[in-house]
Amino acid sequence: MTTVLITGASAGLGAAFARGFAAKGCDLVLVARDKDRLDAVADALAREYGTACEVLPADLLDPADLDRVTARLAERTRPVDILVNNAGFGLPAPFPYSPVEDEERMLDLLVKVPLRLTHAVLPGLRERRRGSVVNVSSVAGLLPTGTYGAAKAWITAFSESLRVDMEPHNVRVLAVVPGFTRTEFQERAGMDVSALRDAVWLEPQAVVEQALRHLALRRPVSIPGRRYQAYALAVRHLPRSFVARRMARARRPPSGPAV
């Protein structure tokens, strides 16, 4: 039986990944801070799919909790076959206007945590010569979109490099690079997205369905939605100076005092 550990599994893309893997008959290890919400997700999946769900409440920014999750990934008697690094959050204000402590927390969760978790699971995957790492990135990483985008650019580059290193060991690595997706992410970050048209939004289930297809096909990157695929293609070929100027005009510093 394939066992999948998913971070940020209580809602949004994490919960959608849990449902997607449950539909394929996988056992799950669900990681997030909110135990009650994790229990609700686990109970729903057990009723619908008969899935065995291990609930592992953890704040991944707490060193002791992070150590518990890395220890679970490193277990040889209960091996994890697929790791989904999904946990994350954003900030409502650009870097110069955000408290540096918040910036450091975001960087840790988006970069340090997936690095640690991936490093913990890889020895077992290499030894068994099977398994996967799925890293949830963002189209924000394709452009100069602040520190969130910079961190997501790192996770995409990390995934593509790791894929090359793990290919001889038959371990798959996929970067999932969605655009705006209908989750709690924007609300939790305090972002005003009221001006965005319906056409730009992706549904979590559709993002996950494509990601799982691309994982099976051994694709390196999964960009859901034709709009975002065209966006990524254009960014790849436009001059960076032109892109930077357009992004600078699109961003506005917040009014009033720093957040």
Residues labelled catalytic: 148
- The answer to whether residues 50 and 26 touch, using CB atoms and an 8 Å cutoff, is no
Q: What is the largest CA-CA distance in the chain?
A: 56
* Torsion angle defined by CA atoms of residues 13, 85, 20 and 138, in that order, rounded to the nearest 10 degrees: 50
Q: Could you give the angle at which helices 146-166 and 100-107 cross, rounded to 10 degrees?
A: 20
CA distance 132 to 111: 18
Instruction: Please name which of 164, 114, 170, 118 lies closest in space to residue 137, comparing C-alpha atoms.
Output: 114
Range 185-209 burial, b when 16+ CB lie within 10 A, else e: bbeebeeeeeeeeeeeebebeebbe
- Say which amino acid occupies 159: S
